[in-house]
Amino acid sequence: MRCCWIAIVGTLMVTFASSLMAAEKAQQPNVLFIAIDDLNHWVGHLGRNPQTKTPNIDRLAAMGVTFTNANCAAPACNPSRAALMSGIRPSTSGCYDNGQDWTPVIPKGKTLTTQFLKAGYNVFGAGKIYHGSQHRDGEWSEYFEKKNPKLTLDASAKNDGVGGIKFGPLSNPDSDMPDHLVVDYALEKLDQKHEKPFFLAVGLVKPHMPWSVPLSHFEKFPLESIQLPPHQKNDLADVPSAGIKMAKPDGDHATMLKSGRWNEAVQAYLATIHFTDMQVGRLIDGLEKSQYKDNTIVVLWGDHGWHLGEKEHWRKFALWEEACRAPLIWVAPGLTKQGGVCDCPVDFMAIYPTLCDLAAIKIPSHVEGASIKPLLQEPELAWEKPAMTTFHRNNHSLRSEQYRYIRYADGSEELYDHEADPNEWKNLAGDSQYDQIKASFQQHLPKTNVPELPRGEGKKKSKENSA
């Protein structure tokens, strides 16, 4: 009899311990991880472009903390996402541009999603998280493979754009758009009962080109009301040759000026942002209606910025403000307060360690960014380290609250005072009175700048390599 009681007590203890562990797991925060492709700082709450209409992204910003000075790790999809998801900077991995295969130098065990899997999470993914379709088996519990319905330009479209800058309204409804289907999947996950905490990654492709979304979004921005972004003639006159090479003023910009359709391209980008904002709104609404709204961290980020003629440049692929700056919003229940605004310069290398920090997951030693959890709690704290963006080997852009400093591989420089010159029209790097400011930035340049990874030979060239 005594043995039976011991066995019963032992069983109860094991059951209790298991229940306790399950309860602890249930208390771990869920994560809604929203990645947006090619979204620059044209969102309402950042005030960069007064024409934009982003009520849902702005609503999310008001729910937590928005970073007004957030910068990508690299101004191209592939290296930006590889760095963010691995915690390894381009200068360490060698992944500096699109078309470079990062998978041999970034093992599965080092990625962000792997850390959450090892911590007992279910990790779901949908849409564009890595560049192309580079999500790997073993790093996700489940990955949604979306369908791509046929999309057709509306009869009102003149054609599909100007040269390589592709745009035009569609005759399709919103429900045909791939991003809409990705959000459908995410909403299904938010509506399900989960026995384990979850990490739900939702990658929205728009506003990546082509800026082709249903006509209704274009109608929100009448063409006659469109204002061109701030620009000036001969803006590259004081820019070193390395910067001009990145700008390629004789390419997209010259073609756009010749076409006379610059305003149409701006309209199309604004329309595509509006479509994306509606998808973000669907996600927020779905979370708010779910049983997980009070225990889910939300982080929204754009993978890099985008130029629409500023500094005679189009696309990303440069080291100026328009290419480097993008939205970054955090909502962390129990930590962030509504309406928080942080002006400290941060880069997206902070996302990986911060998520680990918030979920009480050990930050791996290879991670090069620092957790910004203190800024989520107190957005006005001092944060001295500048944000850094890298494009190709030994080319770096460093941003403080007041200045942006660019150092190219050949040693040439740019320096802009954003308090006096928010459009980066006057390069101060040649003025000796700023030598000390430049020196303060230079101490933050990476000591290691490994050679570039080879471009993917024998692989199908991604459409984005030319976008």
* Cα–Cα distance for residue pair 260/159, rounded to 1 Å: 14
Specify the higher pLDDT residue, 147 or 252: 252
Q: Which two tokens stand for residue 49?
A: 């472009």
Dmax (CA) of the chain: 95
Q: Which two tokens stand for residue 237?
A: 């006159």
* Cα–Cα distance for residue pair 281/286, rounded to 1 Å: 8
In the numeric block, the tokens 């249903």 are attached to 214
Q: With beta carbons less than 8 A apart as the criterion, state whether 322 and 342 touch.
A: no
Is pLDDT at 149 greater than 70 in this prediction? yes
Please state the domain count of the chain.
1
pLDDT at site 131? 92
Is pLDDT at 211 greater than 60 in this prediction? yes
Which of 77, 95, 324, 342 is catalytic? The answer is 77
Q: Which two tokens stand for residue 413?
A: 């420089």
The CA–CA distances, whole Å, from 241 to 249, 305, 396, 413 equal 12, 22, 15, 10
In the numeric block, the tokens 């928010």 are attached to 422
Which of 41, 131, 135, 304 is catalytic? The answer is 131
Taking the CB of residue 136, how many other CB atoms lie within 10 A of it? 15
Tell me the mean pLDDT in the region 6-18: 44
Is pLDDT at 460 greater than 70 in this prediction? no
Residue type, 9: V
Closest CA to 123 of 143, 146, 141, 145: 141
Q: 75-123 pLDDT, tens per residue?
A: 999 999 999 999 999 999 999 999 999 999 999 999 999 999 999 999 9
Tell me the mean pLDDT in the region 439-450: 97
Tell me the mean pLDDT in the region 194-212: 98
8 lies in some domain: no
Q: 370-388 pLDDT, tens per residue?
A: 999 999 999 999 998 999 9
* Cα–Cα distance for residue pair 371/197, rounded to 1 Å: 21
- Average of per-residue pLDDT values in the chain: 93
CATH value at residue 316: 3.40.720.10
95 assigned to active site: no
271 lies in some domain: yes
Please, what is the Cα angle at 257 between 461 and 247, to 5 degrees? 50
Q: 292-331 pLDDT, tens per residue?
A: 999 999 999 999 999 999 999 999 999 999 999 999 999 9
Q: With beta carbons less than 8 A apart as the criterion, state whether 277 and 54 touch.
A: yes
356 assigned to active site: no
Q: With beta carbons less than 8 A apart as the criterion, state whether 185 and 140 touch.
A: no
pLDDT band at 7 (very low <50, low <70, confident <90, very high): very low
436 lies in some domain: no
414 lies in some domain: no
417, β-bridge pairs: 403
274 lies in some domain: yes
* Cα–Cα distance for residue pair 311/397, rounded to 1 Å: 16
Is pLDDT at 238 greater than 70 in this prediction? yes
Percent of the chain with pLDDT over 70: 92
Tell me the mean pLDDT in the region 279-285: 98
Tell me the mean pLDDT in the region 128-136: 87
For 405, residues 6+ apart whose C-beta sits below 8 A from its C-beta are 386, 397, 398, 399, 413, 414, 415, 429, 437, 438, 441, 442
Q: With beta carbons less than 8 A apart as the criterion, state whether 276 and 36 touch.
A: yes
Q: For the chain, percent helix, then strand, then coil, each to nearest 5? A: 35, 15, 45
Is pLDDT at 13 greater than 90 in this prediction? no
- Domain that includes residue 288, residue range: 29-391
pLDDT at site 439? 98
Is pLDDT at 176 greater than 80 in this prediction? yes
209 lies in some domain: yes
Tell me the mean pLDDT in the region 201-212: 98
* Cα–Cα distance for residue pair 359/197, rounded to 1 Å: 10
Q: Which two tokens stand for residue 380?
A: 């006005």
